[in-house]
Amino acid sequence: MTDYATLLKESGLKATFQRMNILESIEHYGHMSIDAIYEEVVKTHPSLSLATVYKNIILMVENAVLVEVPIEGKKAKYELAKSDHIHLVCTECGEVEDKPHSQSADALFNSMSKEENFSLLKQQINLYGVCAHCQEAVAS
Ligand SMILES: [Zn+2]
Ligand SMILES: [Zn+2]
C-alpha cells in the first residue's frame, strides 16, 4: 500500500485524513467518479460535503497526485498517478481498465513530438468502446 502522507507532502499538499481517505478509496477501486469517491469517504467522515471532496480532488489533480480520466457522456473518473498506461474505457458501463503501455507506442510519441518540435509533458491514451461484459448484455 502506498504511503499517502508522504505522497501528499512530496506533492506540496498537507496530508489531511480526508485526502488520505480519498486516495485509499481510489487505490482500492482503481478508477472512481467523484460521486463514488464521496459515497466511500463519507462513511468515515459523515460531516464531509460533496463540495469539499470535489475541491480536494481537483487540488490533487492540479498537484499531479491524481489523474482525471474523461469518459464520453459520463462523469470523469479519477485514478492515482501511475506510470504510463493505456485505458480501455467502456462507454456503456463506464468501466476503465488499465493496460500496459508498449515501448513501440513510446517510440512513436517521442518521434512525433520531435518532428513537431513539441515538448511532451504528459500523455494519456484512452480507447473508447464496449467491454466484453456489455457486449454480452446486448446480445442476450
Ligand atoms: Zn461495459
Ligand atoms: Zn488507469
- pLDDT tens track for 17-76: 999 999 999 999 999 999 999 999 999 999 999 999 999 999 999 999 999 999 988 899
Ligand 2 centroid to 125 CA: how many Å?
A: 10
pLDDT of residue 122: 83
pLDDT of residue 106: 84
Residue that the C-alpha cell 480532488 belongs to:
57
Ligand 2 centroid to 4 CA: how many Å?
A: 18
List the grid coordinates of 97.
481498465
pLDDT of residue 57: 97
Neighbours of ion ligand 2 (CB under 5 A): 79, 98
Ligand 1 centroid to 32 CA: how many Å?
A: 15
This prediction's pTM:
0.88
pLDDT of residue 19: 96
Overall average pLDDT of the 110-134 stretch: 92
Ligand 1 centroid to 96 CA: how many Å?
A: 9
Q: Confidence band (pLDDT; 50, 70, 90) for 140?
A: low
pLDDT of residue 132: 95
Ligand 2 centroid to 69 CA: how many Å?
A: 8
Ligand 1 centroid to 51 CA: how many Å?
A: 29
